[in-house]
Amino acid sequence: MNLLIIFAKNIKLGKVKTRLAKTIGGEGAFEVYKHLVEMLERTTSKITNCDIHIYFSDVIIEEKWPNQQKFVQKGDDLGERMFNALKNGFDAGYSNVVGVGTDIPDLDEVIIQNGFDALQKNDTVFGPAEDGGYYLIGMNQLLPFVFENKPWSTEGLLDLTIEEIEKKAFLVKS
């Protein structure tokens, strides 16, 4: 069973796309993020081979992603929030879990499907971002260390994570 987890910041002026807001202003950043969420909502409505769980940053917005299960993210940092969401998915019986954020303009159903397809041959999959991080993470088993003590939102995140998986993953094989 496949599960797509969407990590959504609540759309609040001054709380979304803060780096972008420095160049285009708070209202502009708010509108950009609002549009990105709408695009992802349309994209994910076309996906039929998985369940979808939405994890909001602060409060559940019922109007978004109607008929999908919704939760509030739990954890002190991004790693802890992602770990908790993926753990909930595996605990619920899902065998392949893919997580994405809501601020990736080029994310479409083909990329998400490719993530699930890659999990047929790999334990972990990432969608590499241009800034050195990743916009997609997928697992067919939970590797807790992937989410611990990471330099979130830095350019070396993906390389560091892959290096750590290559060193430690053989220890957690089932």
What is the tens place of the pLDDT at every residue in 38-63? 999 999 999 999 999 999 999 999 99
Selection from 139, 163, 141 nearest residue 151 by Cα: 163
pLDDT over 50 at 83, yes or no: yes
- Is pLDDT of 169 > 80? no
DSSP character for 102?
S
User: What's the pTM?
Assistant: 0.92
Query: Do residues 85 and 138 lie in contact, with contact meaning Cβ atoms separated by under 8 Å?
Result: no
Range of the domain at 63: 2-171
What's the total number of domains in the chain? 1
Proportion of the chain above pLDDT 90, given as a percent: 72
In which element (H, E) is residue 22 found? Answer: helix 18-24
Residues 6+ apart with CB under 8 A from 102: 6, 7, 8, 9, 33, 36, 37, 40
Strand 69-72 to strand 96-101: parallel, antiparallel, or no bridges (unpaired)? Answer: unpaired
Task: Report the CATH number that the domain containing residue 57 is assigned in CATH.
Answer: 3.90.550.10
pLDDT digits (tens, 9 = 90+) for 84-100: 999 999 999 999 999 99
CB atoms under 10 Å from CB of 27, counted, come to: 11
